[in-house]
Amino acid sequence: MVKKFLAVLLGLVLGYMLIDDFNPETVKGRNVFITGASTGIGEQLAYHYARLGANVVITARRENKLKEVIEKCKELGTKEQTYDYVVADMIDLNATGSVLQKAISKLGGRLDYLVLNHIILLDLGVWTGSSHNLSLIDKVINVNFQSYVYLASHALPHLEKSKGSIIVVSSFAGKFGQPFVSIYSASKFALDGFFGGLRQELKLRNCDISITTCVLGLIGTENAINQLLGFGQNQLLNMLTAASPSDTAFQIIRSGAKRVRQMYYPMLQIYPLVLMRDWFPETCDFLNRYVYTLNS
Ligand code: NDP
């Protein structure tokens, strides 16, 4: 009886997961601004949005990389779409207002999706409380957290008009503290707190802006893999399968278009631990730690 019940339950869950009710037409003609789009997941987001018929403006610091991404977007989309970029360093919070204004004017004055994805590139390391450790706090919190809040804040009136969406690219490290990236984890936890609160306020104000938080596991971007290898985490790379940046980007777009509250990807790699974290903290910590290697 119990076995039958579990089999039916599993069937229902798998069935639900396999139903793809994403309609790509919902993205066509939409105006999208993507941060951190010169490489990695952000770059792939730009390609998928272009292919799906959206107007795309991207930002990051390296202009040559942004130009290359835009050229490829042009090949993937149609002549009628807009593709452009704004060069910006998100450590400069005062510049975020003009960055957003420039992006919106390139998009013809309307914004439908704000996709917050950039992160500062950090070497993995043990937090010993050294002056180097402490010197990272402001930079990481500025770029990974505060600039997200600033950009979202500047975008709110525009998104309110368009009934648009904010997509926040976060991490398993923002749900479950991870070793060797403590300050990165802290910045991602902060995103969950801020955007969780903002989401509630928007509902209370009957404001039709959706916020999708994307909780990602291991994704095989060049920077992520190099960071792990650089800190001797070969065991982690052997034990976990890194998802493809392109598939991840597509799932982010899909979840944003469906106005999903929170998405986990790859789901089976991270969701069970997040679910069990508060019930069995020691066991979950142990399982999580199991994939890491402490190099002396
Ligand atoms: P990448 O390192 O490949 O890309 C980071 C992007 O951010 C680049 O475009 C970079 O461009 C930009 N960037 C870096 N510093 C700044 C800055 N100061 N100002 C503006 N832009 C900046 O990252 P991923 O693609 O791997 O990750 C993308 C997102 O996914 C992040 O939010 C990350 O936390 C999340 N994630 C990734 C995982 C993974 O395994 N890859 C796992 C979990 C979450 P430029 O240098 O030109 O400025």
Per-residue pLDDT tens over the stretch 14-68: 666 667 789 999 999 999 999 999 999 999 999 999 999 999 999 999 999 999 9
Binned at pLDDT 50, 70 and 90, residue 222 comes out as very high
Distance between Cα 144 and ligand 1 center (Å): 9
Structural contact between residues 196 and 174, judged by C-beta atoms closer than 8 angstroms:
no
Distance between Cα 204 and ligand 1 center (Å): 32
How far from the centroid of its chain's Cα atoms is residue 256's Cα? 11
Q: Check if 224 has its Cβ closer than 6 Å to any atom of ligand 1.
A: yes
pLDDT value at residue 17:
64
pLDDT value at residue 16:
65
The pLDDT of 244-256, averaged and rounded, is: 98
Q: Check if 46 has its Cβ closer than 6 Å to any atom of ligand 1.
A: no
**Tokens 């914004």 label which residue?**
111
Q: Which helix (H) or strand (E) holds 194?
A: helix 182-204
Distance between Cα 41 and ligand 1 center (Å): 7
Q: Is 292 a catalytic residue?
A: no
Mean pLDDT of the chain: 95
For the chain, the residue count is 296
Structural contact between residues 69 and 45, judged by C-beta atoms closer than 8 angstroms:
no
Return the CATH architecture of domain 25-118+126-293: 3-Layer(aba) Sandwich (3.40)
Q: Check if 151 has its Cβ closer than 6 Å to any atom of ligand 1.
A: no
Report CA torsion sign: 247, 249, 251, 253: negative
Tell me: the pLDDT tens digits for 58-99?
Answer: 999 999 999 999 999 999 999 999 999 999 999 999 999 999
> What is the Cα Rg of the chain in Å?
19
pLDDT at residue 2 is higher than 90: no
Ligand 1 atom closest to the Cα of residue 41 is 25
The pLDDT of 176-194, averaged and rounded, is: 97
Q: Check if 118 has its Cβ closer than 6 Å to any atom of ligand 1.
A: yes
